[in-house]
Every structure is written in structure tokens, then in C-alpha cells.
């Protein structure tokens, strides 16, 4: 699976994220998973003082922020060029996506 050492809460996040991503049909190389972990760690650090998101548990953040953001891409046809507007929810996560 994933072999880079991370704090325990990051390992739990990663397990939930990988499971959610797989349910959506996504799989990622270790180098990409490392970037998701870094994003999660920075988000967790700043969330303690700035309250970027009200979600507190690793599972909530992995599923409702990270995996749900991936789900939006499933609405677009493969191998076709589309234009997208991203109206974010904050903390860098997409919310309302549309194509025209």
C-alpha cells in the first residue's frame, strides 16, 4: 500500500481517502498520494487556528472534502474538452462545477 511514514492521524486519513477514491474508480501512484497527504497535513495544521472547515475527523475530511472533490470529475465525458468554472467552498476544495 503506502509506505511513507506519517503521523497516525495522517495514516488514518489516507486509508479513508484511498477507500473512498477506489469506490469512485480512482487509484493513485504513491507520489500522488504523498501530495494528498501533504495537503491534508497543511489543512489540519491551519484548521486548528483558522477553522478552514468544520469537519474534525480524518474520515469526515477524507470523504467529504477530498473524495467528494474527485466525484465531480465523473460528471464529465472522457476524452472530450470541456470548460469548467469552480466556485469553491473554501480551504481549496471545489464546490459547484459547471461546463458550457
Could you tell me the three cell numbers for 26? Answer: 480512482
Helix or strand (DSSP H, E) at 59? helix 58-61
pLDDT tens digit sequence for 5-38: 456 688 999 999 999 999 999 999 999 999 999 9
pTM of the model: 0.74
CA distance 86 to 74: 15
- Taking CA atoms, 83 is separated from 62, 86, 97, 98, 99, in Å, by 27, 10, 10, 8, 5
pLDDT tens digit sequence for 50-84: 878 888 889 999 998 899 888 878 888 888 887 77
Residue boundaries of the structural domains of the chain: 8-99
Q: Are 17 and 67 in contact (CB under 8 A)?
A: yes
Amino acid at each position: 500500500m503506502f509506505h511513507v511514514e506519517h503521523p497516525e492521524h495522517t495514516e488514518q486519513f489516507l486509508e479513508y481517502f484511498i477507500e473512498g477514491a477506489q469506490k469512485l474508480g480512482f487509484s493513485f501512484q504513491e507520489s500522488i498520494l504523498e501530495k494528498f497527504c501533504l495537503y491534508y497535513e497543511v489543512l489540519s495544521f491551519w484548521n486548528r487556528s483558522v477553522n478552514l472547515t468544520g469537519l474534525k475527523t480524518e474520515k469526515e475530511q477524507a470523504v467529504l472534502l477530498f473524495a467528494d472533490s474527485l466525484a465531480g470529475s465523473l460528471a464529465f465525458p472522457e476524452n472530450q474538452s470541456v470548460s469548467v468554472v469552480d466556485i469553491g467552498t473554501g480551504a481549496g476544495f471545489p464546490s459547484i462545477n459547471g461546463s458550457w
